[in-house]
Structures are given as C-alpha cells and as structure tokens.
Amino acid sequence: MAADALQDSIPIEKLRNLGPKSAHWLQQVGIRTCGDLKQTGAVAAYLLVKQQQTRCSLNLLYALQGALTGVHWNQLTEKTRQQLRAEARSE
C-alpha cells in the first residue's frame, strides 16, 4: 500500500513516454502526478488535453497508456491501440 502511495506521488514529467510538452499539457488540465493520471485514465486524460491542444496526436493517448502500464508507447499491441481509439471516439 505504501509503495502505491509513493508511486502515485511521482510527478507526471517523470513518467515513461511523457516529454516536457506532454507533461505541460497534462499539468494544464490538472494532471500533475502518476496518481492523477491513474485516477483519470489514459483516454479521459487524452480527451481533456485534446480539448485545449487540438494538434495533439494519438501518440499522446498511446504514451499515456504506456505510462500507466510501464511500457514504451510503441510497444502497445495493435489491439490495445484499436481499443484506445474506440474508447476515445465513444467519449
């Protein structure tokens, strides 16, 4: 439990796949820590950013999912990418 709390407090800019621009965009929508991202979820976080940063691409969605699952975004399976895109369209 304490390990989860520690993990949750990690600043968003320290997570795998997220560079300075992505971290800044996430901070602008109130997502500042790993815990914030976990609570919001990859799709909802992507959609929040997309409302303000219309030029952000699906790579952000993949990067967010990768950050949550601990894998590099380009290692997500095509099935996972399809599911993420479908969820983002249905929101």
pTM over 0.85: yes
Give which of 86, 66, 87 is closest to 76, Cα–Cα.
66
User: DSSP 3-state assignment of 14?
Assistant: helix
Report whether 74 contacts 43 (CB < 8 A): no
Tens digit of each residue's pLDDT (9 = 90 or more) over 27-85? 999 999 999 999 999 999 999 999 999 889 999 999 999 999 999 999 999 999 999 99
* Domains of the chain (ranges, CATH numbers): 2-90 (1.10.150.20)
